Chains A and B, each alone.
Chain A
Amino acid sequence: MAQETADIQDAVRICARYRVPVIAFGTGTSLEGQVNAPAGGVCIDLRDMNKVLEVHAEDLDCVIQPGITRKALNEYLRDQGVFFPIDPGADASLGGMASTRASGTNAVRYGTMRDNVLALKVVRGDGEIITTGTRAKKSSAGYDLTHLFVGAEGTLGIICELTVKLRGIPEVIAAAACSFETVRGACQATILAIQTGIPLARIELLNAAQVRACNAYSKLSLPETPLLLLEFHGSENEVAEQSRNFSEIAKECGGGEFSWTTRPEDRNKLWQARHDGYWAVKALRPGAGVVATDVCVPISRLADCVTETEADLERLNLQSPIVGHVGDGNFHCSLLCDVDDADEMARGEDFMHRLVQRAQGMGGTCTGEHGIGQGKQKYLEPELGSQAIDAMRAVKQAFDPQNIFNPGKILPAL
């Protein structure tokens, strides 16, 4: 239980002396085994390092410790009229979110952790601290170490302080829902909305299976066809205009009734249902495990990728509702499997393998936001090539020659 940076430094120095693995732990909400300990070792729990150190509302940034969670940070910031926009669903710690390069429903407007971390302080293998940047909005000063540590999954050092960007809380927030006959229609509407410059804050796709699950779990009565959930941010006039423009696009693309609201209770009901999507899926088959996975493709290929994935599920006789951050081309499958049923697990593994190959074949990636961890190591080389993996190994060797930081993650064993 670290309480200050000096605790991390001393713990790392001790682990380095005896070459014992050291794994940073935030809230344990990562999905690809990032905080598993395949070689044992020492887990440094950072939840007590949860302070906001500085808020610069006029500069739209703040300096925080890694253990603070996104909800706690936004509670702290609320009365200053600013917020931190990245929302991966789970109430994850900011250090963990940076380490997995997390994103979520707001990424279409506000970007991912890659876009929102300005600087880091990181404890390296000898216990000394690396400062990767400043509060300046841009910098041309040397190698970009900030973005080397963002997404490194704790394999290069331990983040002990973050400087992150903030945004002004919008004057008005509107939520909207629109059903479509097909996934392709929903994707086409999304592409047109982005091309025409509608500043969507959120645009989420639920396939028919996911809508059915949400209806049952959240007691909604949405048409059980592909659905887009949207959010618009701005002034009253801006939000009304954005909603009107999107409804016209939706109509062109085969969208059904378009309803939008600024009433907080109605907005919250819709988005709570979206955020409860995992539990809605779990409730479809009590006792089954939920195997969560994600891929990301260029947005023009999203409809193809989702449609082919749905066909594959049918062929393999598997159940997996799909939700997508459709504005980014990123979607999630929540595969329901009896983990004790070897045949079903084998079909599930086959499905996920084919899903990744499909996404990569369309110019996409094996993971948009869950990370590599342990689960997706074998897909790195097909995606990036052996030269890129060699470069990553060289980086790992340079920062962590003893291989004590979160061993067994990202890079496949040789």
Chain B
Amino acid sequence: MGITVSNTKRPEPQALASTLEALAARFGNRLITSQAVRDQHAHTTTWLPRSRRMQW
């Protein structure tokens, strides 16, 4: 159908930096980037590794 979904491409570092800057301006200290909170949100009840990109 001509539709492609390259669905695990990471954003460019500059895009991420700009996003974080805009989110910080909008949300102040409700934007959390600490490793501990990021780990907490990556630690779920799935057995699949958090960094897993592809299925078997």
Contacts and interface: CB of A to CB of B under 8 A. Distances in A.
Main SS of chain A's interface residues?
Answer: loop
A11 B23 contact: yes
A373 B46 contact: yes
Interface in B39-53: 41-48, 50-53
Contacts of B5: 393, 396-397, 403, 411, 413-414
Contact of B46 (A1, A339, A375): A375
Interface residues of A, number: 57
Contacts of B43: 28
Contact of B16 (A20, A28, A37, A394): A20
B1 A29 contact: no
A214 to B, nearest CB: 20
Contacts of B48: 32-33, 36, 373-375
Contacts of A14: 19, 22-23, 26
A30 interface: yes
A227 B11 CA distance: 51
A413 B19 contact: no
A409 B47 CA distance: 15
Main SS of chain B's interface residues?
Answer: loop
A154 to B, nearest CB: 13
B8 to A, nearest CB: 5
Interface in A358-414: 373-378, 390, 393-394, 396-397, 403, 407-409, 411-414
Interface string A118-142: 0000000000000000000000000
18 contacts: A11-B26, A14-B19, A29-B45, A38-B53, A39-B8, A40-B16, A42-B19, A43-B38, A373-B48, A374-B52, A375-B48, A393-B3, A393-B5, A397-B3, A403-B6, A408-B7, A409-B7, A413-B5
Given A376-B55, A390-B1, A403-B7, 16 more contacts: A3-B30, A14-B22, A18-B11, A20-B15, A31-B46, A31-B47, A36-B48, A292-B45, A292-B47, A353-B56, A375-B46, A377-B55, A394-B1, A396-B5, A408-B7, A413-B54
**Which 7 A-B pairs give the minimum distances between C-beta atoms?**
A28-B44, A33-B48, A18-B15, A407-B7, A38-B53, A408-B8, A14-B22
Interface of A: 1, 3, 7, 10-11, 14-15, 17-21, 25, 28-43, 45, 90, 289-292, 339, 349, 353, 373-378, 390, 393-394, 396-397, 403, 407-409, 411-414
